[in-house]
Structure 1
Amino acid sequence: MAIINQGILGGVSGQIGNVIGGTWKGIDYLRIKPSSVANPKTEGQLDQRSKFATVLRFLQPMSDFLRIGFKLYAIKMTEFNAAMSYNLFNGVVGAYPNYNIDYPNALVSRGNLKGVANGTATSTTPAQIDISWDNNSSSGNALATDKSLILVLNPDKKESIYTTSGPDRTAGSETLNLPAEYTGDVVEVYLGFVSADGTKVSNSTHLGSVTVA
């Protein structure tokens, strides 16, 4: 039963059919009662939730990095949601319930700036990753002043080590220090570029799965 306050034009408190009335911060409101879902765990829903959870685990350790990596696609959404949307459709392999991240096709940065040429990642010194790339600053819209975007993801520890303002494109290399406890872990290494003024970002390149020395 609903109660009409202050006459017929006043606020409604309670439920009339599927209409619910109430007051929030002194403001009267009406809303439609949401339809109940007969089976909230259908095969399709479970499939989508499993895929969503897989991408969420991938992206959560790098949420701050994504503010740079996906900022050009944060249109009426957050950078994190833009990354989630892209990787749900392009960065997952497998079938329910055994979904995994397709690391070579997943992106941690996205844009039309010229990307990486011949990037490599190795680990020969304890708790370090050595990253190298060719200087392609004369190709397309690449500039010598572009800054490297480097991310090392440790999936097992659900952590990432990264820089959003690494060496210039012309430098051709960088060494990233990792926590000592990463020794023996397999990490996923990504490299991209951002223009010096921050207006352009490249697609990231997966440099491989590397066992930390």
Structure 2
Amino acid sequence: MATYNKGILGAFSGKVGPVVGATWRGKYVMRSLPKKGNRLPTEFQQVQRTKFTMVTEFLSGIQPVVKRYFGRENGTKTRRNQAMSYLIKEAIVFNDPDYEWDYSKILISKGDLLGIDNGQVELGTDQNIDLSWINNSDQGEALATDKLVVVVYEPTLKATVYSLNASTRSSESVTLELPNYLSGFKVHVWATFASEDDAFVATSHYLGSVTLS
């Protein structure tokens, strides 16, 4: 990959002869066209592709959460990149003959703010789930006004529901209404806290699963 100044021809995007033009992080770049090959992927490559597909599908449903709350932008690795790297390495297990999620290891956020204390999820009425936790504000940097961020995931439909401001740390409980199409399905739930201005975020916790009525 090479960068270039626009010059007399100006910037371009797409294939031109043996090269492809594009922009990357605000720079104009050119890449040579990939060479076609008929080599079969190795077992390791097949595994990585399977994991990559799983993670991409999961992250596509929670982009606003990950883009705000997973680690810190460092100029070379976006928050989404950090989330993808973590999930591929830590949150997928082999259960012969398939690769599956270890839901307890999935993170939706990563940071240094004090996290949720004794978080619980239970089935509520109709399509509701009830979340509860202990108010641990004023410990460390935690404040009563910190926002509760929640992600709900149903793996069969690959459906995701999330809230960036479901409640506050001091509230100690909240009821979330889920869409009717999830009736009868088991959903997995994660929660975390973020400061009002999004400057600080906690590492998320897996609260467990609930089968909706």
Shorter chain as normaliser: what TM range?
0.7 to 0.9
Structure 2: how far apart are the matches of 1:30 and 1:166?
Answer: 44
Matched position secondary structure for 2:181: helix
Query: Residue in 2 aligned with 1:151?
Result: 151
Query: Residue in 2 aligned with 1:116?
Result: 116
CA contact (8 A) 1:113 1:194 kept: yes
Distance 1:144 1:151, change over 3 A: same
TM-score (norm 1): 0.79
Distance 1:36 1:173, change over 3 A: same
Query: Residue in 2 aligned with 1:173?
Result: 173
Query: Residue in 2 aligned with 1:164?
Result: 164
CA contact (8 A) 1:110 1:203 kept: yes
CA contact (8 A) 1:50 1:97 kept: no
Structure 2: how far apart are the matches of 1:156 and 1:53?
Answer: 15
Structure 2: how far apart are the matches of 1:180 and 1:23?
Answer: 46
CA contact (8 A) 2:19 2:33 kept: no
Larger radius of gyration: 1
Query: Residue in 2 aligned with 1:206?
Result: 206
Matched, 1:190 2:190: yes
Name segments (4+ residues, structure 1) moved above 3 Å: 20-24, 29-38
Q: What value does the CA root-mean-square deviation take over the aligned residues?
A: 2.7
Amino acid at match of 1:103: Y
Give me the identity figure in percent: 36
Matched position secondary structure for 2:57: helix
Structure 2: how far apart are the matches of 1:127 and 1:164?
Answer: 19
Query: Residue in 2 aligned with 1:94?
Result: 94
CA contact (8 A) 2:20 2:33 kept: no
Greater displacement, 117-126 / 157-166: 157-166
CA contact (8 A) 1:109 1:203 kept: yes
* Cα displacement (A) at 1:23: 9.9
Distance 1:39 1:170, change over 3 A: same
Structure 1: how far apart are the matches of 2:113 and 2:44?
Answer: 37
CA contact (8 A) 2:111 2:202 kept: yes
TM-score (norm 2): 0.79
Distance 1:41 1:149, change over 3 A: same
Once the two structures are superposed, the pairs formed by residues 1-213 of structure 1 within 5 Å of their partners are 39-70=39-70, 72-73=72-73, 75-94=75-94, 98-213=98-213
Q: For each residue in 1:24-44, what CA deviation from the matched residue of structure 2 results, as whole angstroms up to 9, or x when unmatched?
A: 7xxxx9976756656241112
Matched position secondary structure for 1:176: strand
Distance 1:51 1:76, change over 3 A: same
Distance 1:55 1:34, change over 3 A: closer
Matched position secondary structure for 1:122: strand
Distance 1:74 1:57, change over 3 A: farther
Structure 2: how far apart are the matches of 1:96 and 1:78?
Answer: 33
Matched position secondary structure for 1:130: strand
Structure 2: how far apart are the matches of 1:152 and 1:74?
Answer: 28
Amino acid at match of 2:177: N
* Cα displacement (A) at 1:199: 0.7
Structure 2: how far apart are the matches of 1:34 and 1:172?
Answer: 54
Structure 2: how far apart are the matches of 1:23 and 1:141?
Answer: 48
